[in-house]
Amino acid sequence: MPSKLPPTFLMEYTLKINRGEPCIRNLLDSRKTATPLLLSIQPLSSISKKTTSPGGEGLAFIIAGNSTLPANSEGRWLGIVNSDPNGSPVVAVEFDKRKSDDQDLDDNHVGLDINGINSNASVYLTDFGFNISGGRDLRVLLQYDGQNLSVRVNETLVLSQRLDLYSYLPKKVFVGFSASTSNETQLNCVKSWEFSGTDIGGEGNLLWVAWIMIPVVILVLFIGVLFYLYRRTDPIEEDLEGAQRNIEDEIRRSDFAPKKFRFSELKQATGNFSPNNKLGKGGFGTVYNGSWGNKDVAVKRVSKKSNQGKQEFIAEVTTIGNLNHKNLVKLIGWCYERRELLLVYEYMPNGSLDKYIFCDEKASMVESRLNWEQRQNIIQGAAQALEYLHNGCQKRVLHRDIKASNIMLDSEFIAKLGDFGRATVETDVYSFGVLILEVVCGRKPGNKSEQKNYNNSIVNWLWEHYKNGKITAAVDSRMDENFVENEAERVLILGLACCHPNPHYRPCMRTVLQVLLGEVDPPEVPQERPSFVWPAMPPSFTQMDYSLKGSQLNTFTEIEGR
């Protein structure tokens, strides 16, 4: 078109764009009439016999968020945009016949432009045997199916590009053409064209939308009432929803929030929670091995039927997620989605301690029998973790569930404490004492033994050995006496001290760690196991086990029945 004429033509027609929907069914084409867009771009010299080489810039089909022509958009800008990078959103298919800058392919190409004149995708038309300025009609068909835009010239596919219009344009847009002749003379002709899309204008469409929306709204309200009634009879779901709100609030206030995962990520990481990836199952859920990035992780899927799953989840995400110690299993992230509560931990290749100390004596796996040095290191590692929770954190954390199955072992058999319970006042020291006896003796705390005095309790059984002066006879026989006797005696006496029936006589974890490191002697333990008396009476100050840190006196004085 001559330069004195308006370079842009936009229809007074709006188009609705939704993500992933084929809002433009047949762009610039009507299958009913079978008449695609006919373009003719000719230098005027071919008509007037006046040579004006090299001719104008070209022509473009545009979808724009604004019907007004951008200021200063003449010349190389094709009337699409100008030099302002924050202009109105626009997507265009350009038929360019001048190489205006280095980013243009040549003077005969088709390009897809998004919010700018530099094409996101472009092709040489010469490769397909077409010449924009050859003076011949070009039959162009543009189609968009909600995901891909295709450009056909004379029925030949020349360009196909993945495109999400929803990401670049508003829901209501204008469609039309724009062209530029720059300082030259050129005739840009659109001889005929058809367009079909999702029309949202007109009273007829509004009436049609109303007929659709009214029953939809009624159906949604009906479903909402049913869901409300279901929720009133489903207290577990209500608790889970409340847990999500609490967790979100707590994590937002945390300075070291663990990563929030999407359910789809964890589903893919665990092979759709395949039974082949199952690591174990407990009271609160099932743990799966997963692959995230370039490392293995352990994914705990909290059981929907667990009434305590919510409290467990809140405690581990909001409290344990902020802890950092070499002997604590690291919480990497969490997920709450689709009524699913999931926790993501670092993966422990050697699993839990219980399978090593409680394994069958007839088992053929030699590596399942821990030697004395490994057992000492495991006890010390667990003690360091528990001492950190009691005294090293800004706020004391009580584990509540110290047992062999909650002691995880990494590739070097370094102990890491995991699987926290609710943060309530419980006797962690007593549980740690039982753990010491389990590791050294290789016996479960409540199983009967061939020893006639086992009395269904490892604590009672060991106290009988201590009373008879044979405490080291309780050491795991699978070590074939390959242990240091006086070290084993110290550790077992410490375990009995931790299991004292009177909570006031139990050592604090700092003292426990000092004993394990050989810095102090273990507390004195009576030959006869004391009877439990309620209420438990505290000892005199001189008898109470204590430790000093600066000017602070730290004692473990919570009264607990066990």
Annotated catalytic residues are 401
Secondary structure of residue 449 in the 3-state scheme: coil
- Structural tokens at position 203: 């009273």
Helix (H) and strand (E) counts in the chain: 12, 21
User: Strand 58-64 vs strand 37-43: parallel, antiparallel, or unpaired?
Assistant: unpaired
Say which amino acid occupies 94. E
Which positions ≥6 away from 201 have C-beta within 8 Å? 13, 14
The burial of 162, by beta-carbon neighbours within 10 Å (0-12 exposed, 13-18 middle, 19 or more buried), is given as exposed
Strand (E) or helix (H) holding 549:
strand 547-549
Which of helix, strand or coil describes residue 545? coil
Which amino acid is present at 472? T
CB 471 within 8 A of CB 551: no
Strands 259-260 and 331-337: parallel
* H-assigned helices in 143-202: 165-168
Q: Is 300 annotated as a binding residue?
A: yes
- Measured distance CA(51)–CA(442) in Å, rounded: 101
The radius of gyration computed from the CA coordinates of the chain, to the nearest angstrom, equals: 38
224: which 2 tokens? 């909402």
Helix axes 372-387 and 509-516, enclosed angle (nearest 10): 150
CB atoms within 10 A of CB 47: 10
Angle between helices 485-498 and 509-516 in degrees, nearest 10: 170
Q: Kindly state the greatest CA–CA separation across the chain.
A: 123
Integer CA distances (angstroms), 10 to 40, 78, 110, 349, in order:
19, 14, 21, 65
What phi and psi, each to the nearest 5 degrees, are found at residue 241? -65, -40
CA 331 vs CA 222, 255, 319: distances in Å: 42, 15, 10
The 3-state DSSP class for residue 461 equals: helix
What whole-number distance in Å separates Cα of residue 133 and Cα of residue 153? 14
List alpha helices for 7-159, DSSP H.
45-48
Of 284, 286, 61, 97, residue with least CA distance to 184:
97
Helix (H, G, I), strand (E, B) or coil at 267: helix
E-strand ranges in 241-373 read 259-260, 278-281, 285-292, 295-302, 331-337, 340-346
Q: Comparing C-alpha atoms, which of 546, 539, 502 is closest to residue 523?
A: 546
- Feature table: binding site for ATP: 300
- Feature table: binding site: 300
